[in-house]
Chains A and B, each alone.
Chain A
Amino acid sequence: MNKIELKNLLFLARIHAEEKEYPEITKKLTNTFNLIDEMNNLDLKDLEPLNNPLELKNVSRTDKERNRNQKDKFLDQSPESDDDHFMVPKIIE
């Protein structure tokens, strides 16, 4: 993984790192991918991918009235909020 690829990956994951940290991060990622790449030695022909161990069925809840307005409870958790909104720095210049 070169410097530009790592920079793109860090941005995609929304993680900041200083350029001086890049060699160490690259080394750690390469080590893990060396382990992962052992998959390439396996014969996986005709195997259907499995994303969950159990057969999943769609589940719907009963159509019952519930109090879902817990706005204050959740806004209270926010680092910054007003009466109705989560507050963040300016998005549009």
Chain B
Amino acid sequence: MNFKEQRENFRNKKISAKEAVQEALSKVENDKLNIFISNLRDSAEKRAEEIDSNFEKYKDKPLSGVPIAHKDIFCTENIQTTCGSKMLSNFVPPYSSTVTKNCDEAGSVMIAKTNMDEFAMGSSNETSFFGPVGNPWNDSLVPGGSSGGSAACVAANITSISTGTDTGGSIRQPAALCGITGMKPTYGLVSRWGMIAFCSSMDQAGPFARDAFGCAALLDAMASYDAKDSTCSKREVVNFENALAKDFGTLNIGIIKNIEELGINNDVLEAYEHSKSVLQQLGHTIKEIDFSELSSGICSYYVIAPAECSSNLSRFDGVKYGYRSDQNNISELYMKTRSEGFGDEVKKRILIGTHVLSAGFYDAYYLKAQQVRRMMKNKFEDIFKDVDLIFMPTTLDQAFEKNRKDSDPNRMYKEDLLTIPANLAGLPAISFPNGFKNNLPIGGQFVGNYFKEDLLLNTANKIQEVTDWHKMTP
């Protein structure tokens, strides 16, 4: 059942919040894909009863009576929040994130917290301390990452909506690999308060749903100005669900010249070509744009993200909260706590970040990476003088095998080649299913100008009115 039907059934009293929650919880309890880190049966049933007994208060809220799963990166008061790490496997936050609070107030019921790459560092959900997640289309394949659990949860029809975070593609890439819709909003649209930090200048929370409609409603709930996040935008938030019905007219849609030279798989390219013809059928004009700088984003990202991660993760020292390795002196306590508490990928990124920020290397790496970031932002600004949106594939490949052995040691990092540029520039982007091959989904994405989420959702929704890729289920 998609989000819209589920919410209508609650509003029309065909199904109570408690019944919807119980159905979802029974699927959580039968999950064979390792999608969840915690199951919140007790609190979820209580909350659903409260919503049912205050039906009038909740019936018109954007997420009324709908079960939701949150990525385990969002702090939830008195509920274990692990960030996929041994370091936080015993952490029970004393407060809730703004995102989860907003979703509660919007009438949803949190039923579970989803598995993820450790501290959101990964593109396959294999770096989680709690084990890898299987792709609902084929459990020997990865669901993508880092929000792999949240994407798999919606793809497997356990909940109709879930939350994720996207620092370099961590919503859009798993959405593409699982055959659902996922959106990274403009940096600053959604509060980062209570969202465990990886790379603060790029981290942004966003929605997953089967279609653009579900993403619009969930984004309506998630987005709000929050004084507790100094980077949160004070702009008046538009109603995204209403924007789906708006007429934005015909658009100029940019496609990138020679994009096939970036190593994109032929099946993904075929779906991309087909989507271009759908856009033309809808009356839009396709314009070729030069964006030869696109692939340079990745080298900048792998300096800036580890740099910020090394700083953000310095707080995990075994003293104030989280895992502690008991040692006889404080220096050993720090070092052993961090080497035992973090997994290999996280430690590697901390080391890279520490190196690029250290004296003597700052100019050669960090400063240069920030210049590349400026170059990327300038390029997008130029492009958006000519086009309304950019359209491109979300990923280079479809879902791949767990424990993939690559001849190129940086292959996993290159998975995010097409998603990273939007994060560097802070732009909004939406991935939606746009094809199917080998019994596996394919995703395409729009990147828009700052705060153009309404246009992105509207355009993706128009495509979904004339295609059926988003309706396919495993």
Query: Which A residues lie at the B interface, using CB under 8 A?
Result: 9-17, 25, 28-29, 31-40, 42, 44, 47-54, 56, 58-59, 61, 70, 73-74, 76-80, 86, 88-91
Contact = CB atoms under 8 A, between A and B. Distances in A.
A44 B227 contact: no
Nearest to B376: A50
Interface of B: 91-92, 94, 187-188, 201-202, 227, 230-231, 233, 296, 298-300, 302-303, 310, 314, 317-324, 327-330, 332-336, 338-339, 342, 347-348, 350-352, 354-356, 358, 365, 367-375, 377-378, 409-410, 413, 424-427
Given A35-B299, A42-B375, A9 B334 contact: no
B23 to A, nearest CB: 35
Contacts of A12: 354, 358
Contacts of B355: 9, 29
B321 A13 contact: no
Contacts of A31: 409-410
B225 to A, nearest CB: 11
Contact of B91 (A35, A36, A77): A77
B374 A49 contact: yes
Given A9-B351, A29-B348, A53-B187, A77 B370 contact: no
B94 A49 contact: no
A14 B372 contact: no
Nearest to B303: A36
A93 to B, nearest CB: 9
Contacts of A9: 351, 354-355, 358
Nearest to A76: B94
B231 A15 contact: no
A43 to B, nearest CB: 9
23 contacts: A14-B338, A15-B335, A15-B351, A16-B332, A16-B338, A17-B339, A29-B352, A32-B352, A33-B352, A37-B299, A38-B299, A39-B296, A39-B300, A50-B377, A53-B427, A54-B231, A78-B319, A78-B321, A79-B318, A79-B323, A86-B319, A90-B329, A91-B329
A14 B223 CA distance: 37
Contacts of B327: 89
Given A34-B410, A36-B365, A42-B375, A13 B296 contact: no
A32 B369 CA distance: 14
Nearest to B317: A14
A52 B201 contact: yes
A12 to B, nearest CB: 5
Contact of A77 (B94, B342, B372): B94
A54 B367 CA distance: 18
A38 B96 CA distance: 41
A39 B372 CA distance: 8
A89 B337 CA distance: 13
Among A17, A29, A36, chain B packs the most CB atoms within 10 A around the CB of A36
Contacts of B319: 78-79, 86, 88
A88 B337 CA distance: 12
Among A29, A51, A76, chain B packs the most CB atoms within 10 A around the CB of A51
Contacts of A36: 299, 302-303, 352, 356, 365, 369
B343 to A, nearest CB: 12
B186 to A, nearest CB: 8
B335 to A, nearest CB: 4
A28 B320 CA distance: 31
Contacts of B426: 52-54
A86 B320 contact: yes
Rank and list the top 5 A-B pairs by shortest CB-CB distance, nearest first. A53-B426, A49-B370, A79-B324, A77-B321, A50-B374
Given A37-B299, A38-B296, A52-B187, 10 more contacts: A9-B358, A14-B335, A28-B348, A35-B299, A39-B303, A44-B368, A48-B371, A49-B371, A53-B377, A54-B187
B219 to A, nearest CB: 18
Given A50-B370, A53-B187, A16 B335 contact: yes
Nearest to A74: B94
Given A17-B339, A39-B296, A49 B424 contact: no
Nearest to A13: B354
A12 B338 CA distance: 12
Contacts of A56: 230-231
Contacts of A70: 94
A85 B180 CA distance: 48
A13 B230 contact: no
Nearest to B230: A59
A32 to B, nearest CB: 6
A31 B348 CA distance: 11
Among A13, A44, A61, chain B packs the most CB atoms within 10 A around the CB of A13
